[in-house]
Amino acid sequence: MKGKVYLVGAGPGDYKLITLKGLEAIRKADVIVYDRLANDRLLKEAKKGCEFIYVGKASSNHTMPQKDINRLLVNKAKEGKIVTRLKGGDPYVFGRGGEEGEFLYKEEIDFEVIPGITSAIGGLCYAGIPVTHRDYASSFHVITGHLKDDDEEIDWKTVANLRGTLIFLMGLSRLKSIVQNLIKHGKQGSTPAAVINRATWKSQRVVTGTLEDIYDKVHREGIESPAIIVVGDVVNLRDKLNYFEKKLLFGKNIVVTRSRVQSSTLVEKIEEFGGNAIEIPTIEIRKIEPNDMLEDAINHIKEYSYIIFTSANGVNIFFEKLFDMGYDSRILHNSRIVAVGKGTAKELNRYGIKADIVPKKFVGEGIFEELKDIINKRDRILIPRSKGARSFLVDELSKICSVTEVKTYETLKDESEKDRLLDLINDGNIDYITFTSSSTVENFISMAGAQNIGTLRNIKIISIGPITSEAIRKHSLNVYREAREHTIDGIVQCIIEDVQEG
Ligand code: SAH
């Protein structure tokens, strides 16, 4: 098979700013070559087995030389692979996409270039600055602050006399000389200016001022690279157009402790409100396999008058088995279906099942309350659920009728992000920690270590409900707030209320 290279613009940071074509190229890639400015969250979209090659600055502060990157793209394509070269912003805006393309052309490699949203436009947008505006700027000019040859000066006279918005990329280290040159060659010292760091990322920081004071302000604020320098009257529109930093959870670092497979809804919701969701999975969900008991229960499913699901995981694992065995959802027609909460009920919907009973209180006690008066000794109840679940429900229901508990999965400790967690705790960079079950609490504490309990006490801990809260308190931590509704939405609501009251 013939290889091909896609030079893809990944957008300035917010991973959702990639184009559909760019995403397609990521999904079909055998190899993805990426650097520092492209959001590595996009790598999650790659197919299984895709090779990832980082060519940006690592801790050693070295970038792979351009000629080696060119060579790498060609070699991988010659192996017959689909190579996606992910670049921050747009590949052709100071991205050396042109050079890579030329090299591919010379080597007769099939390639395509997929444009991206450049930080020079999109980055300004997230800072509330439109690059043009009928009243303030009828052109914009994107200028590099870092020239190939240091002696090759920018024609400051021309630049300073441009009336449109000036945008400097790669210019932070030369900010002082940039503003001095602009003033020297005719721009008013009072011209509005802004510096945008990590534009469109959750950690975006913006400093505004004028040509006269922007350098000192940026210095004082300790703004680092990557940063965009903007000069022009459009900067003043930021007060009105800065929707991004006004999102309710903007600037809040919120730790999500659920397992990787479960975390997406909470992460999405936090991000929707502009918060920075930090995934530190504490548990891993492992299916119990082989599972004769589950197969047996499914083969005799018609004998069960009730099936109780106590988690979304439990639902997924149950249906996976049921489908594997060649059945479909219709075999459940004899049973009434109980879901412990909204999340579980929603997961059931995906299989075409509407839960008959969802208790008002989303815990085992809630289910028992709902069932105790409607079941009798002729009923048979199936509960496919996690190993190590509390015995309450099975114990109580068994006093009334026959109950079959089938363990379908277990939750194991996941310590893969332990180092990251310890760094976050040390840096004091966490605003909220969310817990959605007792096992996430137990494993989180064991990962954080007893020596960090003191620090954790200063962080706002949000609990999904009473059982989880109890586990938190058992470890002498404080529950800052408990979700009124014991769901993921309830948790997000809880944080939002805290910020609003803040
Ligand atoms: N191709 C990229 C630009 C690459 S040059 C694009 O179209 O955006 C690298 C420079 O881009 C950085 O030094 C910085 O000035 C700017 N830059 C890129 N992404 C940025 C971001 N998210 N925030 C601030 N500056 C960014």
Q: Domains of the chain by range and CATH? A: 4-116 (3.40.1010.10), 121-242 (3.30.950.10), 253-282+414-501 (3.40.50.10090), 288-410 (3.40.50.10090)
Band of the pLDDT at 196, cuts 50, 70, 90? very high
Q: Which two tokens stand for residue 110?
A: 């099939």
Residue 150 has pLDDT above 80, yes or no: no
Predicted pLDDT at 261: 80
Contact (Cβ atoms closer than 8 angstroms) between residue 88 and residue 169: no
Q: Which amino acid is at 437?
A: S
CA of 115 to the centre of ligand 1 (A): 14
C-beta of 347 in contact with ligand 1 (< 6 A)? no
Tens digits of per-residue pLDDT, 256-278?
Answer: 999 888 888 899 999 999 999 99
Predicted pLDDT at 40: 87
Band of the pLDDT at 484, cuts 50, 70, 90? very high
The residue length of the chain stands at 502
Q: Which two tokens stand for residue 275?
A: 């918060």
C-beta of 12 in contact with ligand 1 (< 6 A)? yes
Classify 49 in phi/psi space as left (phi over 0), alpha (psi -120 to 50) or beta: left
Atom nearest to 229 CA in ligand 1? 15
Residues catalogued as catalytic: 35, 57, 170
Band of the pLDDT at 146, cuts 50, 70, 90? confident
The DSSP bridge partners found for residue 382 are 307, 404
Q: Residue 12, Cβ neighbours under 10 Å: how many? A: 31
Distance in angstroms (rounded) separating the CA atoms of residues 360 and 370: 8
Band of the pLDDT at 159, cuts 50, 70, 90? very high
Residue 411 has pLDDT above 90, yes or no: no
Distance in angstroms (rounded) separating the CA atoms of residues 26 and 418: 28
Mutation pick for ligand 1 pocket among 119, 143, 144, 196 (CB with most ligand atoms within 8 Å)? 119
Tens digits of per-residue pLDDT, 95-123?
Answer: 899 999 999 999 999 999 999 999 999 99
Distance in angstroms (rounded) separating the CA atoms of residues 127 and 120: 11
When mean pLDDT is compared across 27-31, 119-123, 138-142, 151-155, the lowest value belongs to 151-155
Predicted pLDDT at 389: 87
Distance in angstroms (rounded) separating the CA atoms of residues 301 and 314: 16
CA of 260 to the centre of ligand 1 (A): 30
Largest CA distance in the chain: 92
Predicted pLDDT at 151: 57
C-beta of 488 in contact with ligand 1 (< 6 A)? no
Beta strand extents in 211-340 (DSSP E only):
227-231, 253-256, 276-279, 283-287, 306-309, 336-339
Residue 362 has pLDDT above 80, yes or no: no
**What mean pLDDT comes out for the span 178-195?**
97
Distance in angstroms (rounded) separating the CA atoms of residues 336 and 397: 15
The DSSP bridge partners found for residue 229 are 168, 195
R_g of the chain computed on alpha carbons: 28
**What mean pLDDT comes out for the span 460-474?**
95
Atom nearest to 120 CA in ligand 1? 8
The DSSP bridge partners found for residue 402 are 380
CA of 88 to the centre of ligand 1 (A): 7
